[in-house]
Amino acid sequence: MALIVQKYGGTSVGSPERIRNVARRVAKWRNAGHDIVVVVSAMAGETNRLIALAKEIQAQPDPRELDVVTATGEQVTIGLATMALKELGLKARSYTGSQVRVLTDSAHTKARIIKIDEDNICRDLAAGHVVVVAGFQGQDQAGNVTTLGRGGSDTSGVAIAAALKAQECQIFTDVDGVYTTDPRIVPEARRLRTITFEEMLEMASLGSKVLQIRSVEFAGKYRVRLRVLSSLTAPDLPIDEEAGSGTLITFEEDAQMEQALVSGIAFNRDEAKVTIVGVPDRPGIAFSILDPIAKANIEVDVIVQNVANNNTTDFSFTVHRNDLNRTLDILKKVAKEIGAREVFGDDRICKVGLVGVGMRSHVGVASQMFKTLADESINIQMISTSEIKITVVIDEKYMELAVRVLHKAFGLDQAA
């Protein structure tokens, strides 16, 4: 039998009844002879409630103390889930991130996993226990509680699967797999049976909410077999049927030889554009602008630099909307130091992107994308490309229209 890591998101454990359903599903796999490690999120809405509570005390909560507060959400869930398993007659034991020793760096609220000590988990598995682990959290070298950022429980699940060399990491969520795009925007969107790690990584980077981007990075790096499937199906669904459901995230060499031209369309409305105007055009200027941003632990995505005729340049890039004000504060200081004229931001933009490994062997994708948008009078503000992705930044009011027309233009509404 196999070692399986099952990760359950906030919706999947959002009520006592759903926690009981999780326990019944886990029991089904355990009683079939599999070793099971369960990684859980906080109950749906709990992390937001805890953050709001912290902000009632301190408008800008201290990051170290905020981690202490938000990590309690998962601690509640592991206790309840373990109780539910014991009620079904299973041996089970819960662990917080620090009890497992999920070692992270010290970047509070955005920590990264350095190493996982799997000894405690392996010992309990050998003794016949189901091990229930709190996702989203860890501990730094100094013993401080750390959290991995929103969606970090996915990363916890994949990292634990990698450390244990699990046969598969199953991500149970409130959707039944990865779709060509969000079905709430395009009802004709189709569920993909398989998708490559590269494609899933690009879709996650564009804002696809199915998986957290770092979890996909982990899975690809450590070759963890990853499957996204629904926790809202009947918990007594036969194992053979459940094991083949959802979307399998795999490697390109394991996928079909002829990939679709475009596998999916992802988008992200949580974006803001920052522009610094009249920057002296000299070597090292991009570093002078972006280094202070990086030191503030702000992630930058699409970058565009235009050179003017008077030896100056305009420099634009995108950040998460939550980071816009901090970014502007930093850049206003940078502008004075380097002699730039002006800094401004725009939080009314979004990103829309085409993703598909088939782009490697086909031409004309960009021109078809741009023509489709032009036919709808949608102006493109920024463009970014990779081997398997084309991303555009547009006004957010056109986002849903852009997704719908591109989905149809590339035939994603047609059965595979």
23 shares a domain with 150:
yes
375 shares a domain with 320:
yes
Q: Tell me, yes or no, whether 402 lies in a domain.
A: yes
**Element holding 154 (H helix, E strand):** helix 152-164
Report d(CA 303, CA 236) in Å as an integer: 49
Report d(CA 344, CA 98) in Å as an integer: 42
Mean pLDDT, the chain, whole residue set: 92
- Please return the burial class of 346, using the count of CB atoms within 10 Å of its CB with bins 0-12, 13-18 and 19+: middle
Tell me, what's the pLDDT at 140?
96
How confident is the model over 375-397, as pLDDT tens digits? 999 999 999 988 899 999 999 99
Q: Beta-carbon neighbour count of residue 342 at 10 Å?
A: 11
Average pLDDT over residues 19-40: 97
Q: Tell me, yes or no, whether 183 lies in a domain.
A: no
Q: Which CATH number fits the domain that encloses residue 299? A: 3.30.2130.10
404 shares a domain with 289:
yes
Q: Tell me, yes or no, whether 285 lies in a domain.
A: yes
To the question of pTM greater than 0.85 for the whole model, the response is no
Last residue of a domain, one of 254, 289, 314: 254
| Inter-residue contact 402 to 378 (CB < 8 Å) | yes
CA distances from 370 to 133, 337, 357 (A): 46, 38, 19
- Please return the burial class of 92, using the count of CB atoms within 10 Å of its CB with bins 0-12, 13-18 and 19+: buried
243 shares a domain with 117:
yes
Range of the domain at 364: 264-409
Q: Tell me, yes or no, whether 160 lies in a domain.
A: yes
385 shares a domain with 323:
yes
305 shares a domain with 217:
no
314 shares a domain with 227:
no
Q: Can you say whether residue 17 is alpha, beta or left, with left for phi > 0 and alpha for psi between -120 and 50 degrees?
A: alpha
Query: What CA dihedral angle connects 394, 395, 398 and 403, to 10 degrees?
Result: 30
Q: Tell me, yes or no, whether 191 lies in a domain.
A: no
- Is the pLDDT at 33 greater than 60? The verdict is yes
Tell me, what's the pLDDT at 416?
58
Report the percent of the chain where pLDDT is more than 90: 74
Per-residue burial over 113-139, b if 16 or more Cβ lie within 10 Å, else e, is beebebeebbebbeeebbbbbbbbbbb
239 shares a domain with 313:
no
Task: Return the residue matching tokens 């454990």.
Answer: 13
Last residue of a domain, one of 254, 287, 313: 254
CA distances from 379 to 57, 343, 349, 374 (A): 43, 22, 11, 7
Q: Which CATH number fits the domain that encloses residue 69? A: 3.40.1160.10
Q: Tell me, yes or no, whether 316 lies in a domain.
A: yes
Sorting pLDDT into bands at 50, 70 and 90, what band is 214? confident
Q: Of 74-83, 130-139, 282-291, where does mean pLDDT reach its minimum?
A: 282-291
Report d(CA 45, CA 241) in Å as an integer: 31
Q: Which of 410, 355, 346 is nearest to 379 (CA)?
A: 346
Count of positions (residues) in the chain: 416
Average pLDDT over residues 401-410: 96
Q: Beta-carbon neighbour count of residue 159 at 10 Å?
A: 27
Q: Which of 271, 159, 252 is nearest to 200 (CA)?
A: 252
| Inter-residue contact 137 to 148 (CB < 8 Å) | yes
Report d(CA 102, CA 145) in Å as an integer: 10
Number of domains within the chain: 2
268 shares a domain with 249:
no
For residue 404 the two structure tokens come to 């719908």
Q: Tell me, yes or no, whether 292 lies in a domain.
A: yes
Highest mean pLDDT among 103-107, 177-181, 248-252, 412-416 belongs to 103-107
Report d(CA 84, CA 49) in Å as an integer: 24
215 shares a domain with 237:
yes
Q: Which of 210, 83, 212 is nearest to 136 (CA)?
A: 212
Q: Tell me, yes or no, whether 187 lies in a domain.
A: no
Sorting pLDDT into bands at 50, 70 and 90, what band is 206? confident
240 shares a domain with 308:
no
Last residue of a domain, one of 224, 254, 284: 254
285 shares a domain with 234:
no
Tell me, what's the pLDDT at 210?
78
